[in-house]
Amino acid sequence: MKRLVVVIFATLFAVSAFAQDKAEKKGKHKHTPEQRAEKVASKLKEKLSLTDSQTVAVKTITLEAAQKKMEIKADTTLDKTARKEKMKAIRTDADAKIKAVLTADQQAKYDEMKKKKEAKRKEKKNKKKKHDKVDTDDNGKAGHKKREN
């Protein structure tokens, strides 16, 4: 009987520890709008050799965009499609404002950075789709289809 009680408590402890760890990982990428703006501005300063005034302008633009995005995420009255459209409009607007602050050379580098990022995002999405389409055999085990000769 003592063993059963010890096993139950150990199991409960392990489950609660696992749940806490998973909850911490979920919140791992949650940053404040200020933190996001600072991160973007410093990254662009490094990659595009921004001046101090350009960096301040980029930070202001990204902060404004991040705050708007946060408001949209909090708006529960919007459906998924409307939310997506509003987010895209905010990104497009912020992108145009950032480009207005940049020189021609910086704009070219910025566009290249965006293309690379988009290609990376598509690649990641395609990998996930391929992973989701793993075939299963008659026993439900994952594997590949056998070729028929």
Residue where the block lists tokens 């930070």: 59
**Residues above pLDDT 70, as percent of the chain:** 68
For 69-126, the pLDDT digits (tens) are: 999 999 889 899 999 999 999 999 999 999 999 999 999 999 999 999 999 988 888 8
CB atoms within 10 A of CB 113: 14
User: Count of residues for the chain?
Assistant: 149
> What residue spans define the domains of the chain?
30-126
| Confidence at residue 45, expressed as pLDDT on a 0 to 100 scale | 93
Give the H/E segment covering residue 143: strand 142-143
For 27-73, the pLDDT digits (tens) are: 555 788 899 899 999 999 999 999 999 999 999 999 999 999 999 99
CA 35 to chain CA centroid, Å, is: 14
